[in-house]
Structure formats: structure tokens, C-alpha cells
Amino acid sequence: MPPVDFTSSRQAAAFFRIIARLAYETTHMSTTTIDKSNERVQRMFGEIAPNYDRMNHLLSMNVDRYWRSWTVRKLAPVPGEPILDICTGTGDLALAFHRATGGKSEIVAADFCREMLEIGCQKQERARIGRELSFVEADAQNLPFEDDRFAIVSVAFGLRNVADTNRGLAEMARVCRPGGQVAVLEFSTPRWQPFRGMYLWYFKNILPRVGQWFARNSSSAYEYLPATVAAFPDGEALAERMRGVGLKNVKFWPLTGGIATLYVGRK
């Protein structure tokens, strides 16, 4: 489908202004305390696990696949060097690393939601991937790995679900080897208007309703999503937290107009 030309119509300009007004409340969403306890997050993701991949691709219009692919290309993993992906969910980023390294790297996909890991293992079996990829049940705040083990430690759309962000980052840095890369791919908030207003309106009013209708879980996972994104630090604020756990040369790249951002630091 060709892109729509919004620049040639006064009606389009009026439409953008309306969307911006509708988005005002979303732009100033409350950042009151969100329940990110291990028990709540485990239960919530366990409930939506069967529909998790389908809903991610649908609600992002498959752009989430591009974000993961771009992340792997940016990190340029070296075949043979070990990689850890935490909060891996059903393993999409870990599987992307496996493809990029031709199956020559040890890849550990860690998550504390067993239902998600079970689906990841099913993907592994369908793709006929061997023991070079392993799914491990583990808490991002207390990783069961020795110091300085992995060349790349990554997390995609999961750090904001960790109860203690700084502790999660510190654990990622701890298990990363000196000179290795720590990467965070996470949702962020676009800065450019009117795209910001349109996006926030969709994120607050459309995504939760569609997501909840399909997921049909009791924990309101798709209402939790915009709330955590609104409350989570992005841009320079998250980069500064990464520096705070000892990472160096921290850089970040907004993707798709700032809907997501990739952050990378060196140990």
C-alpha cells in the first residue's frame, strides 16, 4: 500500500490537531506506582503466553520484527562468542542471534516466566536448533551466571518489567565480559508532533482494547503496557542509568520515529 500524503490536505492538518488534543491526557499519563512484583508479572505473562507472539506482531504491524533485526545487525555478534538474552519471552531475539551467528555461538535465553519459555522451546524444536541455544528459567535481578561470561547481554522490551531497573542493569553488566556489549531495546515515546500525539492516543486508547480482547487475560496486560512505558525512563535518562552501573560509550538510536529505542554500552 503506498504511503498516504497527509501534507496536501487542510483536512489532514485539522485531523492532526484533533489527534494532538485527544492525546493530551495520554501525553501527561499518570506515573503513579505500578505493580511490577515478580508474582504479578509472572502471572500476567503466563496468561497471555499462548497469544503473545501473534499479538506483538499484530499490534506493532510487524515492526517489532524489524526492530529485533536492526538490533542484531547493530550489535554484529561474532560467531563463536557467547550471548545472553534476558527477559527473552518466547525467544525471538535469541533466535535472531542464532541465525546471525550461523549456530556457532552459545546463546542463552533467560526468562522467569515458564509458560513463555515453553513456547520458546517449541520454536527451537520446530527450527531444529540444537543445544547451542538453551532456554533457562531465571530472574533478571539475580542471574545464575558467573561474572564476565558473555560477549553480548541483551534485553528486548523486558527491562521495564523488571521491578528494580538499576539492579537489572547491574546484573547485565556483571555477567558481560570486559569489552563486551550490553544492549537494551525498549519502547520509548516519540518527540515529534503530530506523530507523538497520534501514537500516544493509539497506545492508550486502541492498543489496550484490541490487545485485551484477543488476550482475554485477567491481569490487564495491555493496559499495563502503556502504563509501564509512560513511567519508564527513556533517551538520555536510561543512558545515564546504564552509565551508572559502569557501562561506557553508551549510545542510543531511536527507531521508527522514536516508538522504540536501542541503547548500547560497553563494559
What is the amino acid identity at position 99?
A: R
Residue 11 lies in a domain: no
Residue 196 pLDDT grade (very low, low, confident, very high; cuts 50, 70, 90) = confident
Output the nine-digit C-alpha cell for 238: 536510561
> Which single residue is written with the C-alpha cell 528486548?
156
Q: Does the pLDDT value for residue 2 go beyond 60?
A: no
Residue 92 lies in a domain: yes
pLDDT at 128: 97
Between 12 and 77, name the one with better pLDDT: 77
R_g over Cα of the chain: 19
- Locate 115 and state its grid cell: 509458560
- Structure confidence at residue 9 (pLDDT): 45
pLDDT at 112 over 60: yes
| Residue 4 DSSP label | P
Which CATH number is 107's domain given? 3.40.50.150
Top-confidence residue, 227 or 33: 227
Least confident of 29-43, 115-129, 185-199, 208-222: 208-222
pLDDT given for residue 26 in this prediction: 39
- Length of the chain counted residue by residue: 267
Report which of residues 10 and 227 the model is more confident about.
227
What percent of the chain has a predicted confidence (pLDDT) above 90? 59
Q: How many domains does the chain have?
A: 1
**Residue 5 lies inside a defined structural domain of this protein:** no
- Chain segment 148-169, per-residue pLDDT in tens: 999 999 999 999 999 999 999 9
Domain extent for 49: 33-266
Tell whether 145 is covered by a domain.
yes
Report whether 263 contacts 65 (CB < 8 A).
no
What confidence tier does 200 reach under pLDDT thresholds 50, 70, 90? confident
Domain-located, residue 14? no
Contact 229, 220 (CB under 8 A): no
Average pLDDT, the chain: 84
d(CA 197, CA 235): 18
221 is a domain residue: yes
Asked if residue 143 is part of any domain, the answer here is: yes
Is residue 88 assigned to a domain? yes
Residue 139 φ then ψ, to 5° = -90, 130
Q: What is the DSSP string of 150-203?
A: EEEEEEES-GGGSS-HHHHHHHHHHHEEEEEEEEEEEE----STTHHHHHHHII
